[in-house]
Amino acid sequence: MSIDPALSEAALAALFQEARTQNAWAERPLPAGTAERLWDAVKMGPTSANCLPGRLLFIESPAAKARLEPLMSSGNRAKTMAAPMTVIVCQDMAFYDKLPELFPHVDARPWFTGSPEKIRDTAARNSTLMGGYLILAARAMGLDCGPMSGFDAAGVAREFLDGTGWEPNFMVNIGYGDPAGVQARLPRLAFADACRIL
């Protein structure tokens, strides 16, 4: 039985099979309004109870890049400085205050108030989902991505997020990749090694 995808095979390949983690960047500026277009796509992805705890901090200006540079791990520093955009994917630990607006048919705030473990689990899980949507949205727009987790999270929180209630989750460099910086594709697990059908 064949399955007809809603997207063409070429589109699926652009999102997954042919997409690569980028480590080098072409000197090509991003189109105006890229950050806004990305958010307009990301915000439409599903999250539990439409809680939308992800917050995106777009680092583009040379001044902001200079503040970020010392907070990156040595292996991520040069490529982050070369990328036209670095997105700090964050989680808003007070996301549930927006639930009356985002989930108006039920008073969902009591699900979280006084439950720090549930707040943290929900924020982490759903902000990570939103970071994944960010990567797919960027690829769908013809951009390349380099997601990273090597950075000083406490330092990033102090430098960029003080007073916001946001916490950093991970980062994504976005731009037009330089193929010369792409490494050989690493192995992936076979279906039988990673999946079960019950």
Residues 69-78: tens digit of each pLDDT: 999 999 999 9
Query: What pLDDT shows up at residue 5?
Result: 64
Residue 82 has pLDDT above 90, yes or no: yes
Query: What pLDDT shows up at residue 175?
Result: 98
Averaged pLDDT of the chain? 95
Alpha-carbon distances, residue 129 vs 66, 84, 92, 124 (angstroms) = 28, 23, 14, 9
Phi, psi of 46 (to 5 degrees): -70, 140
Query: What pLDDT shows up at residue 196?
Result: 97
Phi, psi of 56 (to 5 degrees): -115, 125
Alpha-carbon distances, residue 17 vs 12, 51, 133, 188 (angstroms) = 7, 30, 16, 11
Query: What pLDDT shows up at residue 3?
Result: 62
Residue 1 has pLDDT above 90, yes or no: no
Residue 4 has pLDDT above 90, yes or no: no
In the structure, what pLDDT confidence band is assigned to residue 30 with cuts at 50, 70 and 90? very high
Strands 85-92 and 144-148: unpaired
Residue 161 has pLDDT above 70, yes or no: yes
Among 86-90, 151-155, 171-175, 181-185, the range scoring the smallest mean pLDDT is 181-185
3 state SS of 192: helix
Query: What pLDDT shows up at residue 6?
Result: 84
Sheet of 85-92: strand order equals 54-59, 85-92, 166-175, 144-148
Q: Are 49 and 108 in contact (CB under 8 A)?
A: yes
Domains of the chain: 30-178 (3.40.109.10)
Q: Which of 41, 72, 56, 80 is nearest to 175 (CA)?
A: 80
Which tens digits make up the pLDDT trace of 92-126?
A: 999 999 999 999 999 999 999 999 999 999 999 99
Interior CA angle at 62 toward 141 and 135, to 5°? 25
Distance, CA of 181 to CA of 117 (rounded, Å): 40
